[in-house]
């Protein structure tokens, strides 16, 4: 580690899609970063690419351990060897459809993984956790645009349940001990890639999500896009979502750190899910702060396809299939709170998201494995 005067952030799952982009932003803000990742759903090449993006000097501030967060002993050694200021917890399985087939694996890996991480952290006096949550916790939202006041609903899958459970666990940790500082970041639909084209989304097998599927059709790996339903009550009948550039999302995590550090916002986070805690003598904030990370704009499946055609320069074949079970018609964020309280707003539009996604996919037709 070179920058000893800077805070050290532990990023679990830091070799993954959102994790790797967040690590780049943290290093570029001169934080020290420790990545813990078991590489079960990511590649060690992503770590090399992070170093390539940030340059050798900042790469010295990055350490990587191939560890599963369920391995409490190995994780404890990381806390012994590094003075961790805060944890950003991404580690977890994230395929909605797969979670309905493998509920035990998802509850074990995602919920026990979080609890193990929090337990080991507490044993080393670390009580600042930024958690990778999801708009899935809103289930079929009571209203849109969705604010942080929108009630958490029964989610439609075990993956979503694990996110809701982890939010409740972290909230109860603060209720029992006001030394905890928790930020729950509810992502909408992360897409895109770093502008260098060196890192991006690299799903294993056939992609479940729209964007990686579209980009693999564009690069010729898959034959045609399957549009899951065009009879929804939306402008063009296809599903509408709030797509957010993964780099905007990554910067939202840096903003969350700044919020914990007390250097942005007023600390007032009145909403149904947040709990305001004390600010300590160092000005550091405690409590539970919930933020939606989205753009506030809904985009349909057909709009995504047309935007990607512009980005890749050729038409993309698609067929209309029946609706996918569990899908909702429309979902997009109200993200005023992140703007006013964290000073964070998504900058990039759909055009830029598709251009950056295409650059990554065309330069890496088979993802990190070349």
Indicate which residues carry an active-site annotation.
Answer: 159
Binding mask 135-164 for ligand WQD (x = CB under 6 A): -x----------------------------
Among 21, 51, 89, 241, binds ligand WQD (CB under 6 A): 241
Smaller CB separation from ligand WQD, 117 or 331? 331
Positions 7 through 46 that interact with ligand WQD (CB under 6 A): none
Interacting span for ligand WQD (CB under 6 A) from 51-59, 224-232, 289-297, 333-341: 224-232
Among 50, 62, 111, 301, binds ligand WQD (CB under 6 A): 301
Asked if residue 134 binds ligand WQD (CB under 6 A), the reply is: yes
Smaller CB separation from ligand WQD, 96 or 289? 96
Locate all alpha helices (DSSP H) within the chain, ordered by sequence.
17-28, 44-54, 56-59, 72-81, 96-101, 103-106, 113-123, 158-176, 210-218, 246-261, 301-312, 336-342, 350-363
Interacting span for ligand WQD (CB under 6 A) from 47-55, 225-233, 265-273, 308-316: 225-233
Positions 81 through 100 that interact with ligand WQD (CB under 6 A): 94, 96
Among 210, 162, 182, smallest CA distance to 316 is for 210
- Which residue reads 């996604």 in tokens? 357
Longest Cα pair distance anywhere in the chain, in angstroms? 60
Among 261, 88, 107, 282, smallest CA distance to 187 is for 88
CB-based burial, 324-343: b 16+ in 10 Å, e otherwise: eeeeebbbbbbbebbeebbe
Cα gap 330→341, rounded to integer Å: 26
Smaller CB separation from ligand WQD, 62 or 165? 165
Each as own residue / partner, the long-range contacts of residues 207-214 (CB below 8 Å, 24 or more positions apart, any chain) are 208/95, 208/96, 208/97, 208/98, 210/241, 210/301, 210/304, 211/243, 211/304, 211/353, 211/357, 214/304, 214/305, 214/308, 214/316
Q: Least CB distance from residue 145 to ligand WQD, whole Å?
A: 15
Residue nearest to ligand WQD (CB): 239
Cα gap 87→130, rounded to integer Å: 6
Burial class (CB in 10 A: 0-12, 13-18, 19+), 273: buried
Among 239, 287, 298, 367, binds ligand WQD (CB under 6 A): 239
Q: Least CB distance from residue 218 to ligand WQD, whole Å?
A: 13
Cα gap 127→166, rounded to integer Å: 15
Side-chain-side CA neighbours of 17 within 13 Å: the count stands at 23
Asked if residue 189 binds ligand WQD (CB under 6 A), the reply is: yes
Q: Least CB distance from residue 331 to ligand WQD, whole Å?
A: 7
Smaller CB separation from ligand WQD, 59 or 320? 320
Asked if residue 194 binds ligand WQD (CB under 6 A), the reply is: no
Interface with ligand WQD (CB under 6 A), residue total 18
Q: Least CB distance from residue 354 to ligand WQD, whole Å?
A: 14
Cα gap 16→62, rounded to integer Å: 15
Asked if residue 208 binds ligand WQD (CB under 6 A), the reply is: yes
Asked if residue 353 binds ligand WQD (CB under 6 A), the reply is: no
Among 102, 324, 339, 352, binds ligand WQD (CB under 6 A): 324
Q: Least CB distance from residue 189 to ligand WQD, whole Å?
A: 5
At 37, give phi and psi (nearest 5°).
-155, 135
Q: Least CB distance from residue 219 to ligand WQD, whole Å?
A: 15
Given the rule CB under 6 A, which residues bind ligand WQD?
94, 96, 134, 136, 187, 189, 208-210, 213, 226-228, 239, 241, 301, 324, 327
């Amino acid at each position: 580690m070179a920058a000893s005067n800077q805070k050290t952030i532990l990023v679990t799952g830091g070799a993954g899609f959102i994790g790797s982009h967040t690590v780049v932003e943290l290093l570029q803000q001169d934080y020290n970063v420790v990545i813990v990742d078991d590489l079960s759903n990511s590649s060690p090449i992503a770590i090399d690419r992070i170093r390539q993006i940030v340059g050798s000097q900042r790469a010295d501030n990055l350490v990587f351990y191939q560890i599963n967060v369920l391995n409490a002993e190995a994780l404890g050694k990381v806390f012994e060897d590094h003075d961790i200021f805060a944890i950003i917890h991404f580690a977890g399985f994230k395929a909605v459809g797969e979670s309905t087939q493998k509920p035990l694996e998802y509850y074990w890996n995602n919920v026990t993984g979080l609890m193990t991480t929090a337990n080991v952290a507490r044993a080393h006096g670390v009580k600042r956790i930024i958690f990778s949550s999801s708009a899935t916790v809103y289930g079929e939202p009571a209203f849109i645009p969705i604010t942080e006041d929108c009630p958490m609903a029964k989610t439609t899958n075990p993956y979503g349940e694990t996110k809701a459970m982890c939010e409740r666990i972290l909230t109860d940790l603060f209720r029992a001990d006001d030394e905890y500082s928790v930020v729950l970041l509810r992502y909408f639909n992360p897409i895109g890639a770093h502008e260098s084209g060196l890192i991006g989304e690299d799903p294993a097998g056939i992609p479940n999500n729209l964007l990686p599927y579209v980009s693999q059709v564009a690069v010729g790996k898959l034959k045609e896009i399957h549009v899951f339903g065009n009879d929804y009550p939306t402008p063009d009948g296809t599903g509408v979502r709030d797509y957010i550039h993964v780099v905007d999302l990554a910067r939202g995590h840096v903003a969350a750190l700044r919020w914990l550090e007390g250097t942005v916002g007023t600390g007032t986070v009145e909403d149904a899910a947040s709990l305001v805690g004390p600010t300590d003598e160092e000005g550091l904030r405690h409590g539970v702060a919930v933020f939606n990370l989205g753009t506030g704009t809904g985009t349909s499946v057909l709009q995504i396809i047309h935007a990607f055609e512009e980005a890749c320069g050729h038409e993309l074949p698609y067929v209309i299939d029946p609706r996918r079970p569990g899908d909702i018609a429309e979902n997009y964020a109200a993200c005023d709170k992140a703007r006013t309280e964290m000073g964070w707003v998504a900058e990039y539009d759909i055009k830029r998201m598709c251009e950056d996604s295409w650059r990554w996919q065309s330069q890496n037709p088979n993802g990190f494995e070349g």
